[in-house]
Structure 1
Amino acid sequence: MAGNDIDDTLTRIEQLIAEERELRAQATGTGLSDDEQKRLKNLQQRLDQYWDLLRRRRASAEFGGNPDQVEPRPVSEVESYRQ
């Protein structure tokens, strides 16, 4: 069912946001180790990737396509849009 992929994508976004918030809270308190800083950057990139995927899946559904067939773009491609 098309809605499942969209719901799954939203669930994953919520999980990534929760982890990002935990790291940001820690950053304002005790700071972040190098590994945690790398993890935070990775989380931000993954969030960009999942937001892009969600937008594309919703557009596919809106225009009669099959959102289940929309695959995530590589992080490098999604990140290049921001520059």
Structure 2
Amino acid sequence: MTGSEAEKEILGHITEMINQEKDLRDRLARQEIDEPTEHARLARLETELDRCWDLLRQRRARMEAGQDPGAANVRPASEVEGYLS
């Protein structure tokens, strides 16, 4: 898989998760799910989104540095969630 194909795949996964977030909020508004369920699912999605964005940033940084973007790895949620903004 080329670098651009991998990036498109990651971006596709990010888009899918953003759509899932919207769906959860819509389902809560229609009272199809309760608030604790929505919050738990959103928390998992947000963590996974953070991990995907981190992977994408790693890949782009490696490309800019002339390194192999394929050597970037998905980091554990505990590491990614510990970053400061």
TM-score normalised by the shorter chain: which range applies?
0.7 to 0.9
Name the CA distance, whole Å, in 2 between partners of 1:80 and 1:2.
27
Secondary structure (helix, strand or coil) at the match of 2:81 reads: helix
State the 1:9 CA deviation.
0.8
The percentage of aligned residue pairs carrying the same residue is: 36
The correspondence of residues 37-56 of structure 1 with structure 2, limited to 5 A, is 37-56=39-58
Unaligned ranges ≥5, structure 1: none
Structure 2 match to 1:3: 4
TM-score scaled to structure 2, two decimals?
Answer: 0.83
Cα gap change, 1:31 to 1:78, in 2 (>3 Å): farther
Structure 2 gap segments, 5+ residues each? none
**Structure 1 residue 72: Cα displacement:** 0.7
Question: Which has the larger share of helix?
Answer: 1
* TM-score between both structures, scaled by the size of structure 1: 0.85
Partner Cα separation in structure 1 for residue 39 and residue 28 of structure 2: 9
SS at match of 2:11: helix
Q: How many residues align?
A: 83
Root mean square deviation, CA, Å: 1.8
Q: Distance in 2 between matches of 1:59 and 1:25?
A: 36
